[in-house]
């Protein structure tokens, strides 16, 4: 039987690992909570799977455990930070808190972060905004990395460049989290390490042919694959412009350390047509999609984020099952840092 872990105990355990690595208790708990949230919502390549990588970066001094972002510009509704490669998970959460206050004042707020650490799962940040009635957009790229080939190319040029959007409704919010590539670099890395093939021909090989073999692929295909990858390519270019280009620091600068260029945008519906009208419209459309005719015996249409939110509720109530190998890697760090490992639920 696969072990389940109590979410609260697991959060205290992971927070202790980050605290022992130099983070302040509140910062360590924020990072732990958001990584675990990713696992609860089904993003098991972008949750605790990343914790050992982050702990190693802290130990090597590549990720400063303390400090604050440098404020490069501030017009009120638009802010730009230099994240100094601190925890991207903490930086985005801190930016969200600031943006919520600014969006209430100005109707909207945009925060750019350059030289951020890796920001993990974008979807996990969204409900802090949607729970308060805000429409939120979160974009990320890594100007020091390459993983995606433009359509027709056999060379990686840019990163998967995820786009996340949180949309409040009368019920659960719509939570969109998609990459501009057909899959993520994390998934390809996992399949390659496990000597497994991908579920589809999501890579391009050196001859320009699609392949499902991570050992043969030289780059990820854009969202849409061979047939419609021009659409994902266009979105990827948009994300690059809205992150690195707006932040004034990107690929042209030749960064040597992996990190993230981030843009967070919050919109207050009350500054537009009104929150009541906004929620009435988003709820109507979500309900219409769920009620749309489907083939006999098929499940109803699933709204983006619905499965993840249901999985989160189940994990909180009944415990969280981690992807094989994750807890073992965390236990290695626990031994190194002198932290007790929690027992799984019976």
* DSSP one-letter string for 28-71: HHHHHHHHHHHHHTT-TTSSGGGHHHHHHHHHHTSS-SS---EE
The yes/no answer on whether domain 7-182+221-281 falls in CATH 3.30.1370.60 is yes
Across 120-139, b (16+ Cβ under 10 Å) vs e yields bbbbbbbbbbbeeebbbbbb
Mean pLDDT score, 289-305: 96
Q: Which two tokens stand for residue 344?
A: 């799984």
The domain limits of the chain are: 7-182+221-281
Asked if residue 173 has pLDDT above 90, the reply is yes
- Range 313-328 average pLDDT: 96
Q: Is 204 helix (H, G, I), strand (E, B) or coil?
A: strand
- Mean pLDDT over the full length of the chain: 96
* 8 A C-beta contact, residue 164 and residue 122: yes
- pLDDT tens-digit series, residues 87-127: 999 999 999 999 999 999 999 999 999 999 999 999 999 99
Q: What pLDDT, on the 0 to 100 scale, is given for residue 186?
A: 87
pLDDT tens digits, one per residue of 219-265: 999 999 999 999 999 999 999 999 999 999 999 999 999 999 999 99
Q: What pairs with residue 73 in β-bridges?
A: 80
* Residue 96 pLDDT: 98
pTM of the model: 0.95
Average pLDDT over residues 131-146: 98
Residue 346 is predicted with a pLDDT of 72
What is the pLDDT, as a whole number, of residue 2? 78
Query: What pLDDT sits at residue 1?
Result: 52
pLDDT at 203: 96
237: CB partners within 8 A, 6+ apart: 158
Spatial distance between the Cα atoms of 255 and 261, rounded to a whole number of angstroms:
11
**36/106 Cα distance (integer angstroms):** 33
Does the structure show a pLDDT above 70 at 41? yes
Q: Span 263-287, mean pLDDT?
A: 98
């Amino acid at each position: 039987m696969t072990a389940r872990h109590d979410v609260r105990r697991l959060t205290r355990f992971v927070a202790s690992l980050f605290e022992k690595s130099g983070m302040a208790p509140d910062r360590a708990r924020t990072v732990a909570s958001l990584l675990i949230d990713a696992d609860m919502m089904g993003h098991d390549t972008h949750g605790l799977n990343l914790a050992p990588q982050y702990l190693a970066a802290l130990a090597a001094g590549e990720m400063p455990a303390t400090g604050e972002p440098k404020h490069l510009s501030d017009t009120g509704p638009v802010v730009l930070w230099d994240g100094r490669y601190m925890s991207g998970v903490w930086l985005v959460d801190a930016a969200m808190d600031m943006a919520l206050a600014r969006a209430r004042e100005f109707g909207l707020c945009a925060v750019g972060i350059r030289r951020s650490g890796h920001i993990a799962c974008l979807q996990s940040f969204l409900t802090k905004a949607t729970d308060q009635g805000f429409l939120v957009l979160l974009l990320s790229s890594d100007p020091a990395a390459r993983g995606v080939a433009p359509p027709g190319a056999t060379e990686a040029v840019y990163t998967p460049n995820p786009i996340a959007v949180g949309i409040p409704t009368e019920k659960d919010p719509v939570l969109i989290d998609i990459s501009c590539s057909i899959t993520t670099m994390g998934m390809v890395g996992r399949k390659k390490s496990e000597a497994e093939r991908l579920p589809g021909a999501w890579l391009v090989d050196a001859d320009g042919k699609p392949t499902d073999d991570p050992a043969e692929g030289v780059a990820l295909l854009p969202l849409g694959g061979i047939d419609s990858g021009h659409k994902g390519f266009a979105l990827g270019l948009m994300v690059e412009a809205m992150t690195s280009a707006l932040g004034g620091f990107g690929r042209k600068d030749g960064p040597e350390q992996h990190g993230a260029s981030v843009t967070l945008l919050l919109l207050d519906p009350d500054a537009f047509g009104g929150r009541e009208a906004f929620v009435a419209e988003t709820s109507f459309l979500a309900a219409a999609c769920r009620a749309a005719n489907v083939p006999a015996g098929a499940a109803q249409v699933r709204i983006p984020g619905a499965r993840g939110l249901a999985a989160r509720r189940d994990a909180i109530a009944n415990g969280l099952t981690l992807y094989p190998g994750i807890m073992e890697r965390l236990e290695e760090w626990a031994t190194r840092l002198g932290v007790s490992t929690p027992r799984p639920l019976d």
